[in-house]
């Protein structure tokens, strides 16, 4: 009996030595809104591979925060400097992105440039206001993880659903 307990305690102690690097990064809502698209676009049925959080038509309002919890370095690229609410053409979206050591890139698109739109390391910092820059039909945040042209949709499956109302505190998913 004593040997069994000792073996069990040794196994538990070994679990405590697992490095913290295997923990996932939580992704939360970037602003109060509604999940309007996930793996496919609802109206066309085409592949999307990201989470879109609509702003209920509110443009240039509610500061758009980065979704990833924890200190992460963000590279902010501004391609449109005006107040754009309903699209400025494909490839013209403002973007905040973080590249993980694994090569995966987490991107947030469509916000409007403000004085908060600059490169930095932060925990859920504001990067701009809710907008519709790029290929957008209205103001929303687009959250996507990709690598070499492939979108990863596993990070949000089972955590959020289309039509769900979310807040800034709402968990949208976890990045491994």
pLDDT confidence bin for 83, thresholds 50/70/90: very high
- Pick the closest to residue 147 from 104, 108, 101 (CA basis): 104
- Tokens 């596993």 belong to 154
pLDDT at 12 over 50: no
Q: Environment class of residue 116 by beta-carbon count within 10 Å: exposed (0-12), middle (13-18) or buried (19+)?
A: middle
Question: Does some domain include residue 168?
Answer: yes
Question: Does some domain include residue 128?
Answer: yes
Mean pLDDT of all residues in 66-74: 95
Question: Which domain range does residue 85 map to?
Answer: 23-175
pLDDT (0 to 100) of residue 14: 45
Question: Does some domain include residue 12?
Answer: no
Q: Across the strands, what pairs with 122?
A: 72
pLDDT (0 to 100) of residue 23: 66
pLDDT (0 to 100) of residue 67: 94
Question: Does some domain include residue 126?
Answer: yes
pLDDT at 31 over 80: yes
pLDDT (0 to 100) of residue 109: 96
pTM, rounded to two decimals: 0.84
pLDDT at 6 over 60: no
Q: What is the pLDDT of residues 120-150, one digit of tens each?
A: 999 999 999 999 999 998 999 999 999 998 9
Question: Does some domain include residue 119?
Answer: yes
CATH number, residue 147: 2.70.70.10
Question: Does some domain include residue 73?
Answer: yes
Mean pLDDT of all residues in 89-101: 95
Question: Does some domain include residue 5?
Answer: no
Mean pLDDT of all residues in 71-86: 96
Question: Does some domain include residue 35?
Answer: yes
Q: How far is CA 124 from CA 41, 71, 133, 147, in A?
A: 27, 8, 21, 22
Which of 37-41, 112-116, 148-152 has the least mean pLDDT? 37-41
Q: How many domains does the chain have?
A: 1
pLDDT (0 to 100) of residue 40: 80
């Amino acid at each position: 009996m004593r040997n069994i307990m000792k073996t069990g305690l040794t196994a538990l102690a070994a679990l405590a030595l697992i490095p913290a690097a295997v923990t996932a990064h939580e992704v939360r809502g970037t602003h109060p809104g509604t999940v309007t698209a996930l793996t496919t676009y609802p109206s066309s049925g085409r592949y999307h591979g990201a989470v879109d959080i609509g702003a209920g038509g509110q443009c240039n309002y509610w500061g758009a925060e980065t979704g990833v919890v924890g200190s992460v370095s963000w590279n902010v690229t501004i391609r449109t400097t005006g107040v754009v609410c309903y699209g400025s053409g494909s490839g013209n979206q403002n973007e905040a992105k973080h590249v993980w050591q694994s090569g995966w890139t987490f991107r947030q698109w469509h916000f409007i440039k403000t004085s908060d739109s600059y490169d930095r390391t932060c925990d859920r910092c504001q990067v701009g206001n809710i907008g519709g820059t790029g290929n957008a039909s209205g103001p929303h945040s687009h959250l996507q993880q990709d690598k070499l042209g492939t979108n990863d949709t596993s990070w949000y499956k089972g955590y959020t659903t289309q039509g769900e109302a979310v807040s800034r505190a709402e968990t949208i998913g976890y990045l491994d």
